[in-house]
Amino acid sequence: MNSLTQTSLQLPGQTAVYHGKVRDVYTVGTDTLVMVATDRISAFDVVLPKGIPFKGQVLNQIAARFLDATADICPNWKRAVPDPAVTVGVRCEGFPVEMIVRGYLCGSAWRAYKAGERELCGVALPEGMRENQRFPQPIVTPTTKAELGLHDENISKAEILRQGLATSEEYTTMERYALALFQRGQEIAAQRGLILVDTKYEFGKLADGTVCLMDEIHTPDSSRYFYLDGYEARFEAGEPQRQLSKEFVREWLMGEGFSGQAGQQVPEMTDEVVAGITARYVELYEQLTGEQFRPASADEDPAVRIERNVKALLSNN
């Protein structure tokens, strides 16, 4: 199976290109973005050496579905999906923070809590909580938006305002949107037998100053899901939850002695490991959407297909 790890599209009217950790973003003219979800995979802010076939398609199609399903909550950047791995939309000026919403104590938040911390991004955490326990209500714990190769850092609302990363009004809008989006995501997940545990949202501003949802939403790269069935029993027994997220990749890496620290070597990604990760992404797609995953053609170079499909869309606009 071909995996898409690099793109070098040549689009009519193209004015810029940005290669992120997993997405390549092309600017056409001044206000159109072409976002390609590649098959690159990152963990601990490190891009791993092998791509995961169909991962980009899974991410793009889930994100497009949720952007449509939440368009009544807040404006978003999406305009068209000309290819299974591509979304085209309006260019926004992104805020340099990510809005993390957590409904449960797990992952990095649990690791900090277990180490004795009782405040996260300026939010006080209750005493006596256990791993994977639900918060009384979801909390917002922003992070900085790091450049490639650097680590995102927790940041408080007060610090965001002090540094001028957003105005008080803009932050309030982003927080309100993030909590409403998270509630909708939890409702949709519950219908599919899942729990949306935590997720991240990225926002930007349109030319008129309107706050707009950008990038992806509720994908396995940006979110953590537990299976609803068995959650309570596993929690009461102190057992790990069955989950669908990228956390299993992090756990595999940590089990191999890699956590993104300087001097550590990324473990070998065998064909079996890669195939297993693809299978987990497809599993989440099918569980979350209730539809069978239909992979794009494996007989054609995905970069060639993408350029053809995007050019066809642009020529019709």
Domain final position from 245, 260, 285: 245
Q: Are 111 and 240 part of one and the same domain?
A: yes
Q: Per the domain annotation, does 1 fall within a domain?
A: no
Domain final position from 184, 211, 245: 245
Q: Are 111 and 234 part of one and the same domain?
A: yes
Q: Are 70 and 103 part of one and the same domain?
A: no
Q: Per the domain annotation, does 264 fall within a domain?
A: no
Domain of residue 312: give its range: 14-92+270-316
- In tens, the pLDDT along 190-241 reads 999 999 999 999 999 999 999 999 999 999 889 999 999 999 999 999 999 9
Count of structural domains within the chain: 2
- In tens, the pLDDT along 126-170 reads 999 999 999 999 999 999 986 654 567 899 999 999 999 999 999
Q: What is the 3-state secondary structure (H, E, C) of the chain?
A: CCCCCCCCCCCCCEEEEEECCCEEEEEECCCEEEEEECCCCEECCEECCCCCCCHHHHHHHHHHHHHHHCCCCCCECEEEEEECCEEEEECCEECCEEEEEEEECCHHHHHHHHCCCCEECCEECCCCCCCCCEEEEEEECCEECCCCCCCCCECCHHHHHHCCCCCHHHHHHHHHHHHHHHHHHHHHHHHCCEEEEEEEEEEEECCCCCEEEECCCCCCCCEEEEECCCHHHHHHHCCCCCEEECHHHHHHHHHCCCCCCCCCCCCCCCHHHHHHHHHHHHHHHHHHHCCCCCCCCCCCCHHHHHHHHHHHHHHHC
Could you tell me the pTM of the whole model?
0.90
Q: Are 185 and 100 part of one and the same domain?
A: yes
Q: Per the domain annotation, does 59 fall within a domain?
A: yes
Q: Are 228 and 104 part of one and the same domain?
A: yes
Q: Are 230 and 115 part of one and the same domain?
A: yes
Q: Are 80 and 110 part of one and the same domain?
A: no
